[in-house]
């Protein structure tokens, strides 16, 4: 029995997070319907509803900087285009270095970002307190700052793209799991789901942390690995902090919301994969508290209101996978964004839509194409600034 609105679609998008929704939206605007979005959870149940809302243009790879710069332009006009206000505040990103080696690495990022026309700054240690009032003396040797980076509130962005896709005729089915991808003669022919089968010639794998599972159900082996990251929110404070603050050494990041609370996380080791679910741990709360108080002693008595976790979708080279898989015609990847799908989604998914339509894109295939992992050697270019 088929409980889906249609028995056949031109494209089925697997994953109803920000990447899947934007992919469907761009396809619908191109008149490439009918389109179906399937998601095993509810709207915002995945990483799109579990992130810190950061949007930055400071990257080690020139191609990523360009995608991020385009995404920033998109988020600046998001309210006018979608009718929802994501509270995008361009109050900057400040990367902190604890050693001379870390600062040298950040300087290289700064040089690249400046060469792309963005006004990045290198800050000496004595300048950091202007941006992070109360920072502990000696806690950092310097940092880099880009004012046009910023923070948004994820939920209005998700709802805005969701409603826009619906208005363009996209069908969306939540609580529906993809059980398999059918193919014939090396091309996609359909999707088997918990709500019934559907015929299609194109599948977009935008399943985030579950993207490797979806690929395997199409008979494809991919190197994506789901890794769990934890995050928390505190009680509100009087506004004192403008930028998103990120520490290069341990991945500590935090920002102050419009309501006054701090939202942030810290990189801790967790077993790879989705099998353990999405719990929050006492180990994280302890480590996060120590990291925050060590950097900002004024937070010593601050109370945590809630904590949660989400999955990154990591690739070996730290770059997303965008494009048609050469092993299965019609199967298009839109995954491997790590924890930065929200940052890059508006721009990256324009290229996803073009890949579905068989059009050329401006993405360097050696950096983003799925077949880069099929070569005997891993790609030489890698994006390692994966913090915050």
pLDDT at 384: 76
pLDDT at 271: 87
pLDDT 10s digits, 78-103: 999 999 999 999 999 999 999 999 99
Q: Is the pLDDT score of 248 beyond 80?
A: yes
Q: Is the pLDDT score of 379 beyond 70?
A: no
Percent of the chain with pLDDT over 90: 92
Q: Is the pLDDT score of 55 beyond 80?
A: yes
Tokens of residue 113, six digits: 């970002």
Alpha-carbon gap, residue 1 to 59, rounded angstroms:
48
Alpha-carbon gap, residue 151 to 171, rounded angstroms:
30
3-state SS track over the chain: CCCCCCCEEEEEEECCCHHHHHHHHHHHHCCCCCEEEEECCCCCCCHHHCCCCEECCCCCCHHHHHHHHHHHHHHHCHHHHHCCCCCCECCCEEEEECCHHHHHHHHHHHHHHHHCCCCCEEEEHHHHHHCCCCCCCCCCCEEEEECCCEECCHHHHHHHHHHHHHHCCCEEEECCCEEEEEEECCEEEEEEECCEEEEEEEEEECCHHHHHHHHHHCCCCCCCEEEEEEEEEECCCCCCCCCEEEECCCCCEEEECCCCCEEEEECCCCCCCCCCCCCCCHHHHHHHHHHHHHHCHHHCCCCEEEEEEEEEEECCCCCCEEEECCCCECEEEEECCECCHHHHHHHHHHHHHHHHCCCCCCCCHHHHCHHHHCCCCCCCCCCCCCCC
Q: Is the pLDDT score of 246 beyond 90?
A: yes
| pTM: predicted TM-score of the whole model, two decimal places | 0.96
Mean confidence (pLDDT) of the chain: 95
pLDDT 10s digits, 1-35: 678 999 999 999 999 999 999 999 999 999 999 99
Contact between 71 and 49 (Cβ < 8 Å): no
Q: Is the pLDDT score of 387 beyond 80?
A: no
pLDDT at 1: 61
Could you give the domains of the chain? 8-50+155-224+316-373 (3.50.50.60), 89-148+226-313 (3.30.9.10)
Segment 46-75 mean pLDDT: 96
Q: Which of the four pLDDT bands, split at 50, 70 and 90, describes residue 388?
A: low
Which neighbouring-strand residues pair with 150? 55
Alpha-carbon gap, residue 320 to 61, rounded angstroms:
12
């Amino acid at each position: 029995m088929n409980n889906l609105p249609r028995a056949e679609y031109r494209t089925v998008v697997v994953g109803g997070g920000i990447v899947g929704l934007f992919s469907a939206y761009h396809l619908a605007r191109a008149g490439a319907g009918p389109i179906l979005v399937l998601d095993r959870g509810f709207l915002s149940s995945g990483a799109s509803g579990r992130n810190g809302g950061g949007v930055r243009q400071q990257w080690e790879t020139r191609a990523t900087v360009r995608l991020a710069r385009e995404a920033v332009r998109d988020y600046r006009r998001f309210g006018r285009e979608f009718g929802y206000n994501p509270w995008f505040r361009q109050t900057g990103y400040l990367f902190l270095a604890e050693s001379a080696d870390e600062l040298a690495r950040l300087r290289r990022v700064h040089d690249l970002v400046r060469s792309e026309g963005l006004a990045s700054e290198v800050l000496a240690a004595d300048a950091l307190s202007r941006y992070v009032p109360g920072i502990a003396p000696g806690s950092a040797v310097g940092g880099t700052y880009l004012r046009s980076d910023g923070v948004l509130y994820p939920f209005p962005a998700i709802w805005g793209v969701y409603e826009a896709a619906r208005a363009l005729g996209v069908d969306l089915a939540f609580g529906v799991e993809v059980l398999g991808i059918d193919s014939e003669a090396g091309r996609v022919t359909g999707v088997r789901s918990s709500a019934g089968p559907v015929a299609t010639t194109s599948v977009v794998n935008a399943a985030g942390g579950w993207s490797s599972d979806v690929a395997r159900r199409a008979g494809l082996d991919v190197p994506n690995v789901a890794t769990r990251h934890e995050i928390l929110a505190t009680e509100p404070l009087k506004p004192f902090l403008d930028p998103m603050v990120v520490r290069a050494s341990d991945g500590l990041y935090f920002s102050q919301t419009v309501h006054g609370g701090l939202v942030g996380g810290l990189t801790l080791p967790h077993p790879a994969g989705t099998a353990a679910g999405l719990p929050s741990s006492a180990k994280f709360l302890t480590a996060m508290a120590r990291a925050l108080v060590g950097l900002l002693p004024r937070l010593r008595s601050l109370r945590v209101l809630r904590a949660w976790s989400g999955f990154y979708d990591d690739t070996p080279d730290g770059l997303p996978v965008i494009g048609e898989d050469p092993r299965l015609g019609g199967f298009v990847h839109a995954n491997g964004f790590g924890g930065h799908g929200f940052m890059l989604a508006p721009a990256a998914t324009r290229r996803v839509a073009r890949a579905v339509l068989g059009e050329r894109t401006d993405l360097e295939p050696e950096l983003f194409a799925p077949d880069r992992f099929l070569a005997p050697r891993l790609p030489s270019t890698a994006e390692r600034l994966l913090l915050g």
